[in-house]
Structure 1
Amino acid sequence: MKKIALITLLIAAGAAGAWWLDLPARLGWAEDNRSTVLYGNVDIRQVSLGFRVSGRIAELRVDEGDAIKAGDVIARLDAEPFQQALDAAEADAEALRATLAKLKAGARPTEIAQARAAHDERLAELQNAELAYQRAQRLRPAGTISQAELDQAIATRAAATARAASAREALALLEEGSRVEDIATAEAQANAATAKAASARTALKDVELVAPSAGVILSRVREVGAVVSPADTVYVLSLTEPVWVRAYVAEPNLGRVHPGMKVKVTSDTNPGHGYEGTIGFISPVAEFTPKSVETPELRTDLVYRLRIVIAKPGTDLRQGMPVTVHLPSPEAGT
């Protein structure tokens, strides 16, 4: 019985020793001197795609699960209202450009000749009125004409003088051309109309929804015939690249990682196939992760967030997939 008790005691002591030796590993206290293994999740960016203009959806060319390339046209709005707006804007711009050209060119030679002839006619009328006035002035002292007739001659001469002056100024205006201020105003209006036409042309191009990057369509939110605004999402796109891994490193191992370090990433789905990754970002801010441990010293561990860029992700890595990050051993260098 004593032998059996002694054997039982030795077995229990060995089990307790093995349990105690394995405790640091199970609690994460032990550090592998050859390599450090981190755990994280795949992080793939998603983009909500929509039109920059409001309108009615005329065509949706892709559906959920379809792979698309950057530059693919994946949806279109009804373009007729935008084409009509562009035609009207271009017509307005053309009219204002014609007005500007007219002001810059000034009066035509025939218009100047016409104004000069009108001026000569007014001068002839003035000369005739001047002769009539002088005649009436000579005849009035002798009583040959009445005072009323003299007054009429004076008024006729004054009116002829004013008409001649008006014709002279009109001729001068035509010969001088348009005012600088009028030309500047017309030029500004023409430029504004040209910009409005360019905006209408851009709006017409925006009736096509173009994929900004390669990826896979996750959601098709709208259907043909729906009226959408720029704030509405039509598709949700999961980008093919870049693919990142979000992982955390404990504070004691922080000195073993640095931006630019090459690491190996494996997934539970295909652990035999590794992906080459590069540490691109290490958070400068520590995060506290609570632990269910007994010792006060290890009640919380300081961890830092890492972002690892996968060089050639392929199609196997999916959003949220758990992965394992293998850091190189110190002997292998960085």
Structure 2
Amino acid sequence: MKRLFKIVILAVIFISVGVVGGRWFIKMKNNPSATEFKIYGNIDIRDVNLAFNEQERIAETFVEEGDRVKKGQVLAILQTNRLEAQIQEAEAQIAAQQEVVKRLEAGTRPQEIEQARAEVAAVKATVRNSMLNFERISKTSGTGATSQQALDNARAQLDVDMARLKVKEKGLNLALEGPRKEDIAAAKNTLEALKAALSLLKIRLADMTLISPSTGIIRNRILEPGEMASPNQPVVTLALTDPKWVRAYVPEPDLGRINLGMKAKILSDSFPEQSFEGWIGFISPVAEFTPKTVETEDLRTKLVYEVRVFVHDSEDLLRMGMPVTVIVDNTVRSDASGGNCAPAQG
């Protein structure tokens, strides 16, 4: 009897669970809003103001407003004749300094050493002659045959010749030792400084070319050829088309229904037969009041949070400001690679 009672109880429990589960399934099937959340917003596109790093007149602009450009495409160039002349001058200075380093590293030439030795020998002969002349005048001056002035002149000439000999001997020693290590190191450092200056000039030359940092569309062509460009003066405005985003606002009571990374489907009245895949990429940490910033109990439910829904639009169909409907699937997160992972809030 007790066993039969337990079986009945278990049967009742199973039937109750089945009924409740069936009702829940039917309710979820007939009420997709339980798993889907709908918000409304407008397409937003990021703009990039592109400017040169150098200050010079624009030589040529290769794009017009509305042109599609790819990453790495040349948009405009500056006049480079002055900078190219500076590069040629720097290259010539480097070539000259390289020869200086080679000369110092090679040391004194044998011909220069032989010349220094010959000069020392010649001065030695002059010193011997001056010494003999001084000794001869010294002997005759004692007898009165020569004057004291002649003796002083002979002594002075001997001193001059002895000094010249010391100079020539020092020159010979320097020739034998060759250039100092410090002089060679200084010449090499000067060469490296010239090479660094040339590298900087080449970087500046590369900066004379304005290159698109990303794929997009030229929205504004601000400067024309002949005008002076500078780092604080944009030349063109580039609209980044991938990814675009939907700027929408979620009421505070519904904020708990969405999270970063949730997949979304974007619908537009302009393309009723087509949907665009996206994902929640940003949820503002700061609330905004609508229509006015008064935190009263009746207006507290009017708090909204800005949400950005990123969307890939490979055909560039969605335009800036276009109103769209976003259907968020709050049961699936986007974990695909290639940018679908949600960025950090902030």
TM-score of the superposed pair, with normalisation by structure 2:
0.77
Alignment of 1:132-281 (within 5 A): 132-281=133-282
List runs of 5+ in structure 2 lacking aligned partners: 1-31, 334-346
Contact kept? 1:291, 1:301, Cα under 8 Å: no
Over the matched positions of the two proteins, sequence identity in percent amounts to: 43
Partner of 1:120: 121
Partner of 2:5: none
Asked if residue 74 in structure 1 is aligned to residue 75 in structure 2, the reply is yes
Q: Distance in 2 between matches of 1:155 and 1:171?
A: 25
Partner of 2:99: 98
Q: Distance in 1 between matches of 2:110 and 2:53?
A: 51
List runs of 5+ in structure 1 lacking aligned partners: 1-30
Partner of 1:54: 55
Deviations 1:41-70 (A, max 9, x none): 222111122322233333222211111111
Contact kept? 2:251, 2:301, Cα under 8 Å: no
Contact kept? 2:69, 2:217, Cα under 8 Å: yes
CA RMSD of aligned residues (A): 2.8
Q: Distance in 2 between matches of 1:226 and 1:154?
A: 79
2:93 alignment partner AA:
D
Q: Distance in 1 between matches of 2:82 and 2:133?
A: 71
- The secondary structure found in structure 2 opposite 1:64 is coil
Q: Distance in 1 between matches of 2:55 and 2:34?
A: 61
1:80 alignment partner AA:
N
Contact kept? 1:133, 1:153, Cα under 8 Å: yes
Q: Distance in 1 between matches of 2:180 and 2:87?
A: 32
2:174 alignment partner AA:
L
Q: Structure 1 residues 109 and 91 mapped into 2: Cα distance closer, same or farther (>3 Å)?
A: same
Partner of 1:22: none
> Which has the higher mean CA deviation after the structures are superposed, 158-167 or 95-104?
95-104
Matched residues, number: 301
Alignment of 1:1-20 (within 5 A): none
Q: Distance in 2 between matches of 1:218 and 1:244?
A: 17
Q: What displacement does 1:131 show?
A: 2.9
Deviations 1:275-308 (A, max 9, x none): 1112222222333333699x84335533322222
2:77 alignment partner AA:
R
Partner of 2:13: none
Q: Distance in 1 between matches of 2:62 and 2:150?
A: 93
Q: What displacement does 1:164 show?
A: 0.4
Q: Structure 1 residues 292 and 254 mapped into 2: Cα distance closer, same or farther (>3 Å)?
A: closer
Q: What displacement does 1:146 show?
A: 3.9
Partner of 1:44: 45
Q: Structure 1 residues 292 and 71 mapped into 2: Cα distance closer, same or farther (>3 Å)?
A: closer
Partner of 1:7: none
Alignment of 1:279-298 (within 5 A): 279-290=280-291, 296-298=297-299
Contact kept? 1:290, 1:300, Cα under 8 Å: no
TM-score of the superposed pair, with normalisation by structure 1:
0.79
